[in-house]
Amino acid sequence: MPSVSLTVNGQRHSVEVEGRTLLVELLREQLRLTGTHVGCDTSQCGACVVHVDGESVKSCTMLAVQADGSSVTTIEGLAAADGTLHPMQEAFREYHALQCGFCTPGMVMSAIDLVQKHPQGMTEHEIREGLEGNLCRCTGYHNIVKAIAAAQEVMHGRREALAPAEA
């Protein structure tokens, strides 16, 4: 059986996998990091998005062996050790950017990559286009877009604290 060595949320792991084991299966079933979800079987929904060496990828469309030697960040790795949420998580909470919550881990991971790749900031339209690979079947996109727009201001250092959502 192939062996995979990788860092997940700062912690090193060496695990035996099958060639066919998907990265998402390694994360969920072997490392028990079940925050990363599987919503489809066709690489479309984006619930499984994680960061591999800083880039967002669909962990259902990558083999565990392809992540050998990589650094992976999942939704569990975003908050600080003392529980302080990442600004994107905080924004999703403040702006009520979730309904059932199933797509949320993937949305948050995609959103962080999107914001990091657009240091100049994004318009609402650009945020919507950037979320093309993530589906929310509650169709709760409106507040997700608002949350990302607010979070980017904090992540780029243009605001100290998150702008409060309108009541």
Choice from 3, 5, 34, 43 touching another protein (CB under 8 A): 43
Among 15, 18, 14, CA closest to 1 = 18
Count of residues of this chain found to bind another protein when the rule CB under 8 A is applied: 26
**Closer CB to another protein, 22 or 162, in the complex:** 22
Q: Does 110 sit near another protein (CB under 8 A)?
A: yes
CA 29 and chain centroid, separation = 18
CA angle in degrees (0–180, nearest 5) for 81-86-87:
150
Choice from 56, 73, 143, 152 touching another protein (CB under 8 A): 56
Contact between residue 57 and residue 46 where contact means Cβ atoms under 8 Å apart: no
Task: Kindly state the greatest CA–CA separation across the chain.
Answer: 55
**Closer CB to another protein, 26 or 63, in the complex:** 63
Task: Enumerate binding residues for another protein (CB under 8 A).
Answer: 2, 18-20, 22, 41-43, 46, 49, 55-58, 61-63, 65-66, 68, 110, 113-114, 130, 132-133
